[in-house]
């Protein structure tokens, strides 16, 4: 198709969009609802991810060392653990820091502090707090520790205990719950996105159905299929893009209101901040979806009436 014909396709598409009045309004309205659902799914996904991340952050495994373990040996083990691909972070707590923390926790417990005083020496060992990238990976990390025992100068293991086994049931249940929630979330997002796409498709098809006789006449006038189809695709894309702009505009005051109203309920997650911080993501997904939905739906719908 020549540049002249492409320009005509765009001009005719834009004119169709503007002049089709109620048909255009209905298409844009349905597309707006569809894209609003897609946008809400992005928010839902973010809330879910944020909540799950907060829960995941609360899960860790602590390795407690015997009091005779040397700091060098512990730091060496910390580095080995940090190199594991499953590990997100490893935090070292020295004997002294453990003692200060213990005293702070029991500042009002006179009896415990007095007992500690009478011991004379620091009875607490150093520890490593390990956070895995995924809660399901703790078992592998603990396995690494048992496969690579670290011994001190006396030949005995410097690890006193690992609290994974006592927390295993809780971690396993949490891991299962997180996975199930993620899968359910993805399924819901997919289902709603699919349902909205089907509704948008049906609307565009209906809009083009009203123009079926026009298409037939264009064919009889000798217009090529590409030249007939082009303006409908342009009008469909315009409907999708205009709808996406409406949704992006509506989300500004809505997320502002919801952000302040729901922040405490969502554990500090502010929808308005998220919207502003991820505007490029919203813009690209919504505008891209509108563009694709409008374009592809028009392409398919017109094809039906171009068959000889």
Q: Which stretch binds other proteins (CB under 8 A): 36-44, 163-171, 217-225, 262-270?
A: 217-225
Q: Which stretch binds other proteins (CB under 8 A): 15-23, 103-111, 112-120, 236-244?
A: 15-23
Which pair of structure tokens corresponds to residue 298? 């028009």
Q: Which stretch binds other proteins (CB under 8 A): 59-67, 151-159, 218-226, 270-278?
A: 218-226
Interface residue with other proteins, options 187, 217, 261, 300 (CB under 8 A): 217
For helices 95-105 and 110-119, angle between their N-to-C axes, nearest 10 degrees: 150
CB of 301 to other proteins, least distance (A): 17
d(CA 70, CA 68): 6
**Binders in 226-245 for other proteins, by CB under 8 A:** 227
Interface residue with other proteins, options 72, 120, 155, 222 (CB under 8 A): 222
Interface residue with other proteins, options 104, 119, 169, 220 (CB under 8 A): 220
Q: 87-93 and 127-132: which strand pairing? A: antiparallel
Which pair of structure tokens corresponds to residue 75? 């730091």
Which pair of structure tokens corresponds to residue 272? 């308005």
Using CB under 8 A as the binding criterion, the count of chain residues that bind other proteins stands at: 23
d(CA 27, CA 8): 23
Could you tell me which residues come within 8 angstroms of residue 112 by beta carbon, excluding any fewer than 6 positions away? 106
- Is residue 2 a contact residue for other proteins (CB under 8 A)? yes
- Is residue 80 a contact residue for other proteins (CB under 8 A)? no
- Is residue 219 a contact residue for other proteins (CB under 8 A)? yes
Task: Please check whether residue 152 is in contact with residue 69, taking contact to mean a CB–CB distance below 8 angstroms.
Answer: yes
Interface pattern 107-146 for other proteins (x via CB under 8 A): ----------------------------------------
Return the biggest CA–CA distance within the chain. Answer: 104
- Is residue 20 a contact residue for other proteins (CB under 8 A)? yes
Interface pattern 152-171 for other proteins (x via CB under 8 A): --------------------
d(CA 140, CA 28): 52
Task: Please check whether residue 289 is in contact with residue 38, taking contact to mean a CB–CB distance below 8 angstroms.
Answer: yes
- Is residue 224 a contact residue for other proteins (CB under 8 A)? yes
Residue 65 three-state SS: strand
Of the two residues 230 and 259, which places its CB atom closer to other proteins in the complex? 230
Of the two residues 228 and 248, which places its CB atom closer to other proteins in the complex? 228
Q: At which residue do the structure tokens 């923390």 appear?
A: 101
Could you tell me which residues come within 8 angstroms of residue 282 by beta carbon, excluding any fewer than 6 positions away? 39, 42, 248, 251, 275
Name the site residues for other proteins (rule: CB under 8 A).
Answer: 2, 4-5, 8, 12, 15-16, 19-20, 213-214, 216-225, 227, 308
């Amino acid at each position: 198709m020549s540049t002249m014909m492409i320009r005509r396709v765009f001009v005719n598409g834009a004119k169709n969009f503007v002049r089709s009045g109620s048909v255009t309004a209905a298409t844009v309205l349905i597309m707006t609802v569809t894209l609003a659902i897609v946008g809400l799914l992005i928010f839902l996904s973010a809330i879910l991810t944020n909540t799950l991340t907060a829960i995941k952050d609360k899960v860790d495994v602590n390795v407690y060392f015997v009091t005779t373990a040397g700091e060098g040996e512990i730091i060496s083990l910390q580095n080995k653990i940090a190199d594991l691909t499953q590990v997100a972070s490893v935090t070292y707590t020295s004997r002294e820091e453990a003692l200060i923390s213990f005293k702070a926790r029991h500042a009002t417990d006179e009896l415990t502090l007095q007992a500690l005083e009478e011991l004379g020496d620091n009875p607490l060992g150093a520890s490593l707090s390990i956070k895995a990238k995924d809660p399901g990976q703790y078992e592998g990390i603990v396995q690494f520790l048992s496969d690579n025992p670290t011994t001190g100068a006396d030949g005995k293991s410097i690890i006193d205990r690992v609290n994974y086994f006592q927390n295993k049931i809780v971690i396993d249940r949490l891991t299962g719950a997180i996975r199930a929630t993620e899968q359910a979330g993805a399924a819901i997002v997919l289902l709603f996105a699919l349902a909205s796409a089907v509704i948008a498709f049906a609307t565009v098809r209906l809009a083009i159905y009203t123009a079926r006789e026009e298409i037939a006449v264009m064919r009889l006038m000798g217009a090529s299929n590409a030249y007939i189809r082009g303006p409908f695709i342009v009008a469909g894309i315009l409907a999708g893009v205009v709808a996406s702009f409406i949704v992006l505009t509506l989300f500004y005051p809505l997320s502002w209101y919801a952000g302040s109203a729901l922040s405490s309920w969502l554990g500090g997650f502010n929808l308005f901040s998220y919207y502003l911080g991820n505007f490029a993501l919203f813009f690209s997904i919504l505008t891209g979806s509108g563009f694709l939905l409008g374009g592809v739906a028009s392409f398919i719908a017109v094809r039906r009436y171009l068959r000889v």
